[in-house]
């Protein structure tokens, strides 16, 4: 046989073997997540079902790390989390805890695990309505479903998800974001010329709170109530909106936290 022909057949045999090998192992396609249809009339059970599809499907991809009914390879078993959630963070209801842990996972890492969810960007990957669906599913795992879809969720969802319809605030610096978020109305921040008198003075907040504590106070204003406000004892419970975790993007939140943590 001609030498060149032999070499050509040899090459074909090698390539053929590699194709055969690659086709002999499990074949998995990574499909993009389907849009989840939700409305204010969606029943709690349907909401939980929609959340289940997100959690167990590619859209959430949660079971890559979490287990469901057994310990996950890298993250805790989600089974029963609805029952445990209320006791996980003092002052937070199950719904609040689950939502906060979803959007700011590194602040709620279960002991014995590392924070692997930090870069997931679920605030960008999931619409607000889908986030609530996930919370509903997690609540259903051993707890009661309390979360509901609101018209505001749907309005926010119609422009977000996927390529992101844009978060509520458009700034990229703390100087832009803090006024947009309305913080100066209640807080004094000398560096920004803000002189609010309702909440604690933040001019030197870093001298009494670490970055994690500042983040926690933004995400969950009732977690720890400050003692002294400019006009007397601080209000308990806090009147600060508890939804900045949804309104800021993760990066915006970090920009604000970083800025406040620099105010010694």
Partner 1 sequence: MLRVLRLSSIWIISLAAVAALFLTGCAASSISGGGSPDYRAFPVIGSRAAIWIAAEVHLMFAAFVLGVPMFALVVEIVGARTKPIEDAARYDRLAHEFTRLLLVAFSTTAIFGAVFVFLLFVLYPRFTNYLADIFTPTLIAYPLLFFGEAGSLYLYYYGWEWLSGTPQRKWIHIGVGILLNLFGTVLMFVANAWLTFAISPAGIDPNTGQLSDQYGGLWAAINNPTWMPINIHRLIANVAFGGALVGMYAAVRFLNARSDEERAHYDWMGYVGNFIALIGLIPLPFAGYWLGREIYAFNQQMGITMMGGFLSWLWIIQAMLIGVIFLSANYYLWLGLGRIEGGQRYQRYIKYLVAVLALCFLVWATPHSLVASLAEARRIGSTFHPLLGILGVMSAKNTAVNIMILTTFISFMLYRRAGKETTVEWARIGKWSQAVMALAAAGVVIGLGVYGYLVPANVRIGFSVYQVSAVLAVLFFATLVDLALFAKARSLGPMRWGQMPARSQYVLVLLAVTFTWLMGLMGYARNAIRQYWHVYQVMQDTSPDAFAPTLGFAARMISVCVLIFLGLIGFIFWINGLTERESGAHAPAPAPAVAAAAEAPAAAGD
1 binds partner 1 (CB under 8 A): no
Q: What angle do CA 214, 132, 32 make, to 5 degrees?
A: 105
Closest approach of Cβ 175 to partner 1, in Å?
A: 11
Give the pair of three-digit tokens for residue 1. Answer: 């046989």
By the 10 Å C-beta count (0-12 exposed, 13-18 middle, 19+ buried), 164 is classed as middle
Residue of 98, 110, 149 lying closest to 128 (CA atoms): 149
Does residue 7 belong to the site contacting partner 1 (CB under 8 A)? yes
Q: Which is nearer to partner 1, 164 or 230 (CB)?
A: 164
Interface mask (CB under 8 A) for partner 1, residues 85-124, using x and -? -----------------------------xxxxxxxx--x
Residue 191 within binding range of partner 1, rule CB under 8 A? no
Residue 214: helix, strand or coil by DSSP? Answer: helix
Tokens, residue 127 = 């619409």
Give the binding range for partner 1 (CB under 8 A) out of 13-21, 42-50, 139-147, 238-246: 13-21
Question: Is residue 48 within 8 Å of residue 137, measured between CB atoms?
Answer: yes
Contact between 4 and partner 1 by CB under 8 A: the answer reads yes
Distance, CA of 190 to CA of 194 (rounded, Å)? 6
Residue number, 58 or 144, with CB nearest to partner 1: 58
| Binding interface with partner 1 (CB under 8 A) | 3-4, 6-7, 10-12, 14-16, 18-19, 21-23, 25-33, 58, 61, 63-65, 68-70, 73-74, 114-121, 124-125, 162-164, 166-167, 170, 172-173, 249, 251
């Amino acid at each position: 046989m001609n030498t060149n022909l032999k070499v050509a057949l040899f090459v074909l045999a090698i390539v053929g073997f590699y194709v055969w090998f690659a086709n002999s192992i499990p074949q998995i396609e990574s499909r993009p997540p389907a849009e989840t249809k939700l409305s204010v009339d969606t029943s709690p059970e349907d909401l939980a079902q929609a959340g289940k599809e997100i959690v167990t499907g590619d859209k959430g991809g949660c079971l890559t790390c979490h287990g469901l009914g057994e310990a996950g390879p890298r993250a805790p078993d989600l089974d029963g989390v609805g029952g445990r959630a209320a006791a996980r963070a003092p002052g937070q209801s199950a719904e609040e805890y689950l939502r906060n842990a979803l959007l700011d996972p590194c602040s709620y890492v279960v002991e014995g695990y590392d924070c692997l969810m930090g870069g997931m960007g679920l605030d960008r990957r999931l619409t607000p309505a889908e986030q609530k669906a996930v919370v509903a599913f997690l609540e259903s795992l051993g707890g009661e479903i309390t979360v509901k879809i609101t018209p505001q969720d749907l309005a926010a969802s119609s422009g977000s998800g996927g390529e992101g319809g844009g978060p509520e605030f458009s700034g990229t610096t703390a100087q832009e974001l803090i006024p947009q978020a309305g913080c100066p109305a209640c807080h004094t921040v000398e560096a920004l010329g803000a002189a609010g008198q309702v909440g604690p003075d933040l001019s030197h907040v870093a001298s009494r709170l670490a970055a994690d504590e500042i983040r926690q106070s933004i995400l969950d204003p009732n977690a720890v109530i400050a003692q002294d406000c400019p006009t007397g004892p601080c209000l308990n419970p806090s009147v600060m909106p508890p939804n900045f975790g949804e309104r800021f993007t993760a990066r915006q939140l970090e920009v604000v936290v970083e800025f406040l943590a620099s105010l010694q």
